[in-house]
Structure 1
Amino acid sequence: MPSRRGFLAGLLAAGMAPAASWADLGSPAYLSAGKAADGSFFLAGLSDLGTLLFSHPLPGRGHAATAHPTRPIAVAFARRPGRFADVIDCRTGAQLARLGPPAGHHFYGHGVFTPDGSLLLTTENHFEAGRGIIGVWDGTAPYRRIGSFASGGIGPHDMMLRADGTGLVVANGGIDTHPDSGRAKLNIPTMRPNLSYLDFDGQVTEQVELDAQLHKNSIRHLAMQTDGTVAFAMQWQGDLGADVPIVGLHKPGSAPRLMAADDPRLRNLNGYGGSIAFSTDGQQVAVTSPRGGVVQVMDTTSGALTTEHHLPDVCGLSQSADGFIASSGSGEIVEIAKGRLSVLNQAELRWDNHLIPVI
Structure 2
Amino acid sequence: MAHLDRRTLLSGMAALSAVALLPQSAEAAKKAVRRGRKGVMVGGLKGLDPTTRQMVHALTLIDLDAPTERRSIPLTFLAHGFALDPRNPNRAIVFEKRGPGAAEVELKSAKFMRPLKTTPERAFYGHGVFSKDGTLLFVTENHLATRKGLVSVWDGRTLAPMGEFPTYGENPHDILLTPDGKQLVVTNGGGAYPDGDAPCVTVIDIATRQLLEKNVFTDPRINAGHVQRSARGELVVVSAPRDGLPNTEHGAVSIKPPNGKLTTLVDPVEVTRAMTGESLSLTIHDPTRRVMVTNPDANLVTVWDLSTQKFVKSYAKPKARGVMQTLDRQHYVICHGQTATVSFVSTRTLEEVPELQIEKSLIAGSHIFAWDGVLA
TM band (smaller chain): 0.7 to 0.9
**SS of equivalent residue, structure 2 residue 95:** strand
Answering whether residue 170 of structure 2 is matched by residue 154 of structure 1, we say yes
- The higher radius of gyration belongs to 1
- Match of residue 334 from structure 1: 343
CA RMSD, 1 decimal: 2.7
Native 8 Å contact 1:105 1:126 kept in 2: yes
Distance in 2 (CA, whole Å) between partners of 1:323 and 1:27 is 8
- Match of residue 144 from structure 2: 127
- Match of residue 134 from structure 2: 117
Match 1:205 to one of 196, 199, 212: 212
> 1:176-210, CA deviations, whole angstroms, 9 ceiling, x for partnerless residues?
xxxxxxxxxx5653340111111224221111112
- Match of residue 21 from structure 2: none
Answering whether residue 311 of structure 2 is matched by residue 305 of structure 1, we say yes
Native 8 Å contact 1:270 1:292 kept in 2: yes
Q: What runs of 5+ residues in structure 1 fail to find an aligned partner?
A: 1-20, 176-185
**TM-aligned CA distance change 1:245 to 1:82, over 3 Å:** closer
Distance in 2 (CA, whole Å) between partners of 1:285 and 1:66 is 21
Q: What runs of 5+ residues in structure 2 fail to find an aligned partner?
A: 1-27, 32-36, 50-54
The Cα of 1:314 is off from its aligned counterpart by: 0.9
Native 8 Å contact 2:39 2:65 kept in 1: no
**SS of equivalent residue, structure 2 residue 71:** strand
- Match of residue 55 from structure 1: 72
Distance in 2 (CA, whole Å) between partners of 1:87 and 1:106 is 17
The Cα of 1:93 is off from its aligned counterpart by: 3.5
**TM-aligned CA distance change 1:97 to 1:280, over 3 Å:** same
The Cα of 1:269 is off from its aligned counterpart by: 1.8
**TM-aligned CA distance change 1:216 to 1:132, over 3 Å:** same
The Cα of 1:81 is off from its aligned counterpart by: 1.7
Match 2:94 to one of 76, 83, 86: 76
Q: Which has the higher contact order (CA 8 A, sep 6+)?
A: 2
**TM-aligned CA distance change 1:139 to 1:308, over 3 Å:** same
Answering whether residue 220 of structure 2 is matched by residue 215 of structure 1, we say yes
Answering whether residue 48 of structure 2 is matched by residue 31 of structure 1, we say no
**TM-aligned CA distance change 1:282 to 1:192, over 3 Å:** farther
Match 1:41 to one of 35, 41, 57: 57
Native 8 Å contact 1:233 1:247 kept in 2: yes
**TM-aligned CA distance change 1:117 to 1:54, over 3 Å:** farther
> What is the identity, as a one-letter code, of the residue corresponding to 2:359?
Q
Native 8 Å contact 2:251 2:275 kept in 1: no
The Cα of 1:241 is off from its aligned counterpart by: 7.8
1:259-270 equivalent positions in 2, closer than 5 A = 259-270=265-276
The TM-score normalised by the length of structure 2 is 0.78
**SS of equivalent residue, structure 1 residue 207:** strand
Distance in 2 (CA, whole Å) between partners of 1:125 and 1:110 is 12
The TM-score normalised by the length of structure 1 is 0.81
- Size of the alignment, in residue pairs? 322
Identity %: 22
The Cα of 1:124 is off from its aligned counterpart by: 0.6
